């Protein structure tokens, strides 16, 4: 670095032409500036500033490298978490599909049971209606028979009353009373 400064100072001929003073004079500002620059560069080298700068740059590079590694690690972790969430989402979707399929199956079974219960209920109601109709027919037949018997008894009573004499009627009443006494005892 010292050589470079010396060579550049010697090659600075236009700077020598600028002033009235010789180049190697302390009145020449170009020489003063060159000397100050060399001293400044020397101080920087003496205090190992270039090493510090490279150390700081290396430290900064290491920090950036660490941050990049951390970013890669976080990215990989995020990818793993994303994959985990996608697996969980797929599992939840499968589970929801199974739940929906089971609900449909349960609804179908419930509908089939309701149809069967409805059929059984209709059959019971038809049977009850048939029983009621049969019972009503039996009651109507009994009522018709009873009415027919009353009419027949009344008609027989009228016929007997017109054709029977008083003596025969008394004999018939006595026979009836005797028959009733025998059956009651």
> Cβ of 141: how many Cβ atoms within 10 Å?
10
**pLDDT on residue 3:** 58
Q: Across the 185 residues of the chain, what is the mean pLDDT of every consecutive 10-residue run?
A: 56 50 80 94 93 94 96 97 96 95 95 93 92 90 83 76 76 84 80
CA atoms 160, 164, 166, 167: torsion sign: negative
pTM: 0.40
Q: In the chain, what are the helix, strand and coil shares in percent, each to the nearest 5?
A: 90, 0, 10
Whether 5 and 37 have beta carbons less than 8 Å apart is answered as yes
**pLDDT on residue 77:** 97
Helix or strand or coil: residue 104?
A: helix
């Amino acid at each position: 670095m010292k050589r470079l400064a010396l060579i550049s100072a010697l090659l600075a001929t236009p700077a020598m032409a600028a002033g009235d003073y010789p180049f190697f004079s302390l009145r020449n500002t170009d020489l003063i500036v060159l000397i100050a620059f060399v001293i400044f560069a020397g101080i920087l080298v003496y205090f190992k500033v270039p090493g510090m700068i490279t150390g700081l740059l290396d430290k900064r590079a290491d920090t950036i490298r660490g941050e990049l590694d951390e970013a890669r690690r976080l990215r990989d972790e995020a990818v793993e978490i994303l994959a985990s969430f996608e697996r969980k989402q797929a599992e939840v979707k499968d589970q929801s599909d199974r739940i929906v399929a089971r609900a449909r199956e349960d609804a179908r079974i419930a509908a089939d049971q309701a149809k069967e219960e409805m059929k059984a209920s209709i059959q019971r109601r038809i049977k009850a209606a048939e029983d009621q109709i049969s019972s009503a027919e039996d009651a109507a037949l009994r009522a018709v028979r009873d009415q027919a018997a009353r009419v027949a008894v009344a008609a027989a009573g009228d016929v007997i009353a017109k054709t029977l004499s008083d003596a025969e009627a008394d004999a018939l009443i006595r026979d009836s009373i005797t028959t009733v006494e025998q059956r009651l005892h």
